[in-house]
Structure 1
Amino acid sequence: MPQRAPGRIDACLTLSLSLAALSGGLFLPLSLVYFTVLTDIPLPVLGAIISGSVLIGLPLPLVTGMLVDRWTAHPVVAVGLGLQAVAYAGFVVARDPLEVLLASAVLAVGVRLFWSSVFTFLADYAETRDGLSMEQWFGRLNAARTVGIVVGGLITGAVISVQAEGAYLALAWAASGCTALSTGLILGVVRTRPRAGDAPGDEPSTYVSILRDRVFLRFLALNSVLALATLFFGLSLPTVVRSRLDGPGWLTAALLVANALLVAVLSARGADLSSRTSKVRLLKRAALLWSGAFAVLAVAMTLPLAAAALVLLLGVALLSVAEILHAPSSTALVDELARGARGRYLAAFQYSFVVAELVGPIMFTALFDLAAALPFAVVAVGCGLVAVALNRRERRPLPIG
């Protein structure tokens, strides 16, 4: 290949990740509203359908890890993206409960396949090239995901305000097109080679041996709290601004955009720190930053709107710095722990985010109903306890960064 081809391939991969993130951002906040507008399916039935599709995807990280360790991550990532493109296109024609369930299940499978394999793909890719490090690719993926969710959410908000069926259909087609293009770009990326000792067909550590890995399981439990912190702000902000602060809708959008911009600008710095600093130390700092950020958000719940908006902005700054430290360091730390089973470990690692996705909405709604500041105070305490645990872990001679 020409000498300049590697740079083009890196750009191709970056664009692919960005398009995948944008498609998720377009449809993530829309799924329930979309079918409420375009179908006659009762809301309780829709809720059951969407929850059922999530349950279908729960075992997939385990299966994905085995597939990745045997055949490499490249084809699994492509299949995951392709299934998402098919699912979004299916949403255009799905009208009865069975069709909606089928399309939602295909989407859930595609999403789980993608997120359970993309980190291994990026790690393998980084090791075959003289370019960005593994941590830098992890940071780039996190930036793409954050910006994609925010930009997609803003577009979706505009579509919802229009209240036109054609706009909803156009959004589904846009999500399908973005993901299809992302799939094509991934397929155009040079195939990765697994690192030495991880050749396809080998039988690395089984999940039984991973379940015996106490260091990894402890970190998985700790990261479940940090994963909750990454999701909690976006999950809670619209309700907080509307129901507690009685603020304008643009305030939510402005704070989310500020978060996305900070993450996009600072991600390279966070990845650079992760590549040359103790990962446990960086995660401890992230936990402390999140603890402080959510304590600040709890205080904001007690203030009038103008003062609360300024305090929320401070909280966003702290949350953003915590996120750019956590994203590359946590995944790279799991890679260090993998010891010949990169695909399985990085796939199993996704369960910490699955736990956060399941616990977050229930926890927020239950505690917010009792007191507006309570859910943020609880997350602040949880992150503080994680920082204490990581501080103890850092002082022990373990085979981690």
Structure 2
Amino acid sequence: MRRTPLKDRIPGGTDGRRMLLIGFIDKSGTGLWATSIALYFTYVSGLGIGQIGLLVGVSGGFGIIGAPLAGRLADRFPLTRLLIGGQLLRAAALLALLTTDTYALLLLYSAIGAVPDRGTNVLTKLYATRVAGPERVRYQAINRTVGNLGWSVGGLGAAAALSVATSTAFQLLLIGNALTYLVMATLTLRCAEPPAPVRVAAAPGPHPDATQPAPPTSPWRDRAFLLFTANESVLSLHDSILQVALPLWIVHATDAPVGLAPALMVVNSVLVVLFQVPLARFGATTEAARRLLVPLACLFAAGTLAFAASAAGGPALAIAALTAGIIALTFAEIVQATVSWELSVALAPAEAQGSYLGVHALAPATQRFAGPLLLTGVISAGPLAWPVLGAALAATCAVQSRLVRRTLTRPSLSVPTATVSEH
């Protein structure tokens, strides 16, 4: 049997493949710079630990507005122009750091750069949604896999540069990341503007949704979508569990060696690369994605129970339980990403798709702020807190499933839609 060429198995055609390359370059540059931000401000700018913490925290908080702002603009302007503008602004804000060691200016430039950085994630997702059509879940899975590979490449490059540990090396890493934004902007210029979706009018005759009121066009007035987004912030906790709780739990509550933490993070990355795309087919429709909330609840429960068991005593048990827990939570991460991609688009009215996805992007941002605080509390409370957290996550899955089933009485973007080009 003749195999389909790889390029033909990627949704979105030439523009879809080009945007995947842009995503790879983006994550490579971010991986190059993200691991050296604190060291740059320490060795080049001469900042203290407290100053660096405040700078990163303030710029991160300021950057939260980038997601809803980008979504709002995407409903009014062509996506490609917004992407190019965001990439150029990211490059300019980053290069501006080279011009000063004044703390107020470093804070200002970092905050300015954080806005398009967060906004670009929304615009990229929206572009994928439009260019890949009904295959958007598969496309996003491929994009996430490519992004993980990009992070790895960038991280290896940063590790090589940081072995030198000179001011020049840190400055070259910053310039290297800025150059990736310029390359991305150049490639985006060659991408066609994808058509914006418009819902097909309902066929004449009785319709089960005929008595339903028209959905609000602003996500801020859509209570169901705001609740969905709030639930999403809870279901995104796997990120803080892996990034924050895992190393702290290993050190403070188990007999496992400290070196197990980075090893398990490698396991996480490898599993995501191997399984994100194959498993995406199980959430390719709205109803299929909603049904995945049941196995997601089971994975959360299994992972948190394994973390609790790792504190029972002995290095062998700790290593085995933590490994099992990471495997379960990695598959929870994969499933949750698939569910989130499909349902967030399905719940968004076509006429306000950008605004809705911009608000939805606040879920991971909220989790990144609140998650570490919550999980340090779980660690302090001891092993029994993990099953409680698992039960809370499973209950959130149940609430989310019921909410989505009730809300999706209006037409879903998973069914065929008519489209018109943006001009």
Partner residue, 1:201: none
What per-residue deviation string (whole Å, max 9, x for no partner) do you get for residues 224-262 of structure 1?
Answer: 111122343123334444555576665333222221121
Q: How does 1:84-103 map to 2 (within 5 A)?
A: 84-103=90-109
CA–CA distance in 2 between the matches of 1:80 and 1:379? 38
Matched residue, 1:281: 291
User: 343, 358, 375: which is aligned to 1:347?
Assistant: 358
Q: Could you tell me which amino acid in structure 2 is paired with residue 332 of structure 1?
A: E
For residues 231 and 339 of structure 1, do their structure 2 counterparts lie closer, same or farther at Cα, with a shift above 3 Å needed? same
User: Secondary structure, in 3 states, of the residue corresponding to 2:295?
Assistant: helix
- What letter matches 1:262 in structure 2? L
The share of aligned pairs that are identical, in percent, is 25
Matches of 2:388 and 2:39, distance apart in 1: 30
2:374: which partner in 1?
Answer: 363
Deviation at 1:24, TM superposition (A): 2.5
Q: CA deviation at 1:344?
A: 0.8
Larger Rg: 2
Change (3 A) 1:81 1:242: farther
Kept in 1, the 8 Å contact 2:255–2:313? The answer is: no
Query: What is the rounded CA distance, in whole Å, between the counterparts of 2:324 and 2:159 in structure 1?
Result: 24
> 1:31 and 2:40 equivalent?
no
Secondary structure in 2 matching 1:338: coil
Matching residue's letter, 2:356: Y
Which is further off, 278-287 or 245-254?
A: 245-254
**Separation in 1, partners of 2:149, 2:247:** 17
State the partner residue of 2:185.
183
Pair 318,396 (structure 1): closer, same or farther in 2 beyond 3 Å = same
> Cα–Cα, structure 1 residues 174 and 381, in superposed 2: closer, same or farther, change >3 Å?
farther
Cross-structure match for 1:13: 19
Question: 1:352, CA displacement in angstroms?
Answer: 0.9
Name the CA distance, whole Å, in 1 between partners of 2:44 and 2:251: 26
Question: Is the CA contact (8 Å cut-off) linking 1:227 and 1:356 kept in structure 2?
Answer: yes
Note the C-alpha offset of 1:346. Answer: 0.6
Contact in 2 for aligned 1:291/1:382 (Cα 8 Å): no
**CA-to-aligned-CA distance 1:66-105 (integer Å, 9 cap, x gap):** 2101113222223223322333333444422123213311
Shift of 1:218: 2.1
- 1:133 is aligned to 135
What one-letter code is carried by the residue in structure 2 that aligns with 1:258? V
Q: Is the 8 A contact 1:72 1:193 kept in 2?
A: no
Residue 380 (structure 1) aligned with residue 380 (structure 2): no
Using the alignment, how far apart are the partners of 2:382 and 2:181 within structure 1? Answer: 38
Report the Cα distance in structure 2 between the residues aligned to 1:153 and 1:382, rounded to whole angstroms.
Answer: 34
2:233 maps to 224
Take 2:334 and 2:92, find their aligned partners in 1: how far apart are those partners? Answer: 32
Is the contact made by 2:268 and 2:330 (CA closer than 8 Å) also made in structure 1? Answer: yes
Corresponding position: 1:109 with 2:115: yes
Q: For residues 76 and 301 of structure 1, what CA distance do their matches in structure 2 show?
A: 49
> CA distance change for structure 1 residues 191 and 393 in 2, over 3 Å: closer, same or farther?
closer
SS of the counterpart of 1:195? strand
> RMSD over aligned Cα, in angstroms?
3.1
Residues 120, 164 of structure 1: alpha-carbon distance in 2 compared, 3 angstrom cutoff: same
CA distance in 1, matches of 2:249, 2:158: 19
Q: Under a length normalisation based on structure 1, what TM-score does the superposition of the two structures give? A: 0.84
State yes or no: 1:53 paired with 2:59: yes
Choose 143-152 or 154-163, whichever is displaced more.
154-163
Q: Which residue of 1 aligns with 2:50?
A: 44
**Which residue identity does 2:291 align to in structure 1?**
R
> Which residues of structure 2 form unaligned runs of 5+?
1-6, 201-214, 415-423
Matched residue, 2:281: 272
Contact kept in structure 2, 1:77 and 1:121, CA below 8 Å: no
Q: Equivalent residue of 1:133, what SS?
A: helix
Change (3 A) 1:388 1:187: same
Q: Is the 8 A contact 1:150 1:256 kept in 2?
A: no
- Contact 1:72-1:121 at 8 Å conserved across structures: no
Check conservation: 2:300, 2:329, Cα contact below 8 A: yes
Aligned to 1:257: 266
Counterpart CA distance in 2 for 1:372 and 1:156 is 36
The alpha-carbon deviation at position 330 of structure 1 amounts to 1.2
Q: 1:192 to 1:8 in 2, by over 3 A?
A: closer
Deviation (angstroms), 1:391: 4.7
1:22 equivalent among 28, 31, 54: 28
Moved more, 336-345 or 33-42: 33-42
Q: Match for 2:221 among 208, 212, 224?
A: 212
CA distance, structure 1, for counterparts of residue 332 and residue 225 of structure 2: 21
